[in-house]
Chains A and B, each alone.
Chain A
Amino acid sequence: MITSERRDASTARVPTVEQGQAIIVTRYEEEKAVIVNPVDFHRLEALDTALEQLALGDRPEMSELALKAHRLEDDPGEPIEDPEAIKALLSA
């Protein structure tokens, strides 16, 4: 996620950037910052948020009915451990 910080224009000398353009500020050939038009920035920010929501959608609610399904189907019942009963089952 992109976090943003607001600064007054008088505290930094930033050129005007046209929509659709980006100015990459470098120092010793390394990219240090990118200046973009506010419209582009907000579009990117919105895309980032949309992507986050798409990739990590809301978790479905664990409903009472789903919990009941787990109670009914997850817990072992009474196991058959009588050898005669097991033999009878296998020979049926």
Chain B
Amino acid sequence: MAGSVRWAVVPYAPSPPFRLYAGPDHAPIVVNDVDSFIAAVRKQGGDAEHTYLVSGKARPVLVLNEPPSSYHQEVTALRLLRLSRLTSTEQAHVRRQADELLFYLPPDRFDLPEENAAIVSALVRVHIGSIESRPALGRLNENEMRVLGERIIRFYQFDTRLLVEKRIKELAAREPR
């Protein structure tokens, strides 16, 4: 699944005003302020769950990893940008891979309704039950995944110092050929 483009149902990140489902006979209850809402929930022990009415959209995404286990079935993915929504100059810029945060997906390799680019800074979590089970619409190769991974790590400022140190030590410990 890693590196493939697939259709999925992807929710938008909830933001105020929150709409809380209040049953079939009642209009949703609107909560405008996050602080007072969280304070009220914490006063009750902090364990209360609600059904939030959150917008979502069936859309293609670029899946970044395999599901971690049969129990933990969530993957990370990137939202895509439709190039038709850009000016022709901007489209050309994306096609040249000239913007580090927009990873171009050539239409001859990705069977999408239109030309797209993955937005490096638009990481989302998706449950695999929300991903279409049909074959992938296209797939990045290993090298492209490495480039994309490096951009994601740099954008989100993940500190990989210990990983790099470990790799250097492994290389240094190798017997000379």
Contact = CB atoms under 8 A, between A and B. Distances in A.
Contact of A51 (B57, B85, B154, B165): B165
Interface in B136-160: 150-151, 153-155, 157, 159-160
B171 interface: no
A30 to B, nearest CB: 24
B105 interface: no
Interface in B103-145: 117, 119-122
Contact of B119 (A52, A69, A76): A69
A12 B68 CA distance: 56
A66 B121 contact: yes
Pick the most buried of A54, A66, A68, A79: most chain B CB atoms within 10 A of its CB.
A66
Contact of A54 (B90, B102, B164): B164
A70 B55 contact: no
Contacts, number: 75
A60 B102 contact: no
Contacts of A52: 161
Contacts of B12: 74-76
Interface in A36-77: 51-52, 54-63, 65-66, 68-70, 72-76
Contacts of B42: none
B157 A56 contact: yes
A20 to B, nearest CB: 15
Given A65-B93, A66-B99, A56 B159 contact: yes
Nearest to A55: B161
A88 to B, nearest CB: 16
A35 B90 CA distance: 57
B78 to A, nearest CB: 10
A70 B122 contact: yes
Contact of A76 (B57, B121, B161, B163): B57
A69 B57 contact: no
Contacts of A56: 157, 159-161
Interface of A: 51-52, 54-63, 65-66, 68-70, 72-76, 79
Closest 5 CB pairs of A and B: A76-B55, A55-B161, A66-B101, A60-B100, A69-B81
21 contacts: A51-B161, A51-B165, A55-B159, A55-B161, A55-B163, A55-B164, A55-B165, A56-B161, A58-B154, A60-B151, A63-B99, A63-B101, A65-B99, A66-B102, A69-B81, A69-B119, A70-B119, A73-B79, A74-B13, A74-B79, A79-B55
Given A60-B120, A60-B151, A66-B102, 5 more contacts: A58-B154, A59-B157, A69-B81, A72-B85, A79-B55
